[in-house]
Structure 1
Amino acid sequence: MAKLYLALYKGKAKSRFERLQDKIICLFTKGQYSHCEIAIERLEQWGQYDYRPVYDCYSSSPRDGGVRCKRINVADSTKWDLIPLENVTETQINAYFNRTLGAKYDWWGVLGIVFGIKQKRSKYFCSEWCFNAIKNSNNGWRFSPNDLAIIFKK
């Protein structure tokens, strides 16, 4: 059975523009996290007896244009913090992903967290998408990655 995590990004992006975006998000959401993903851990064979974890990550990303799945090394603890997700299934995440795949990133929704503006229902930002997928809800527009860290931390 696959392990699922809420992966919270605290790293430093490569480009100056992306680092600026991250700092602005952290400033306005009053925390250390600028992005989040739902990470599904899988063991992949690297040699005859060597298996290593890999992570298929689901979210809505401004860098990738919206909802997508991407393999990311979230095991790097200098860039990511992982919170195990209990009572969440891979089937549940895949079903939400299939319903929202290709939806654009919601820049106005990101501002809405700070200013209380309601989101555009056809677009998603990262923490909105993750909350909705985990809770089978449409109320994720209220939460930042830092809010999710508090909500789901054990």
Structure 2
Amino acid sequence: MRALLQRVSDARVAVDGRVVGETGPGLLVFVCAMQGDGEDEARKLASRVARLRIFRDESGRMNRALLDAETPSALVVSQFTLAADTRSGNRPGFSTAAPPEEGRRLYQVFTDCLHNLGIATQTGEFGADMAVTLTNDGPVTIWLDTQS
């Protein structure tokens, strides 16, 4: 599985002008299941996201994890385009993304794992055309991939 994390002051996702998920200070997590991924990858990725030390400590250093926050929160948005293959031509290919049904299932496993770790979790709408707005804090943007 792949994830693109953005440390945010706030973020929200809307579908057809209706806000379906939002967060205050925390993480915006774009996530994509790849072909061959299973529940183990979803759980491993959720654990890495929750424990990655990218938040400031008292000294201003990135030394705290989402789990260390007073009120940990994340907005999780499915994004199959993280599977883009751009090695040839000008049009990305997405054949390495998991099929939609499996992607949806693993997206839910990932989100449930974050929630079960004590992180207040909201989501976008799987497969929908979404408008995402955010205020990147730092800016801090981190790429994670369970296959590397």
TM-score range normalised by the length of the shorter chain: under 0.3
Bigger fraction of residues in strand: 2
Question: Which structure would you say has the larger RCO, counting Cα contacts within 8 Å and 6 or more residues apart?
Answer: 2
TM-score, with structure 1 as normaliser? 0.25
Between Structure 1 and Structure 2, which shows a larger proportion of helix residues? 1
TM-score, length of structure 2 as denominator length? 0.26
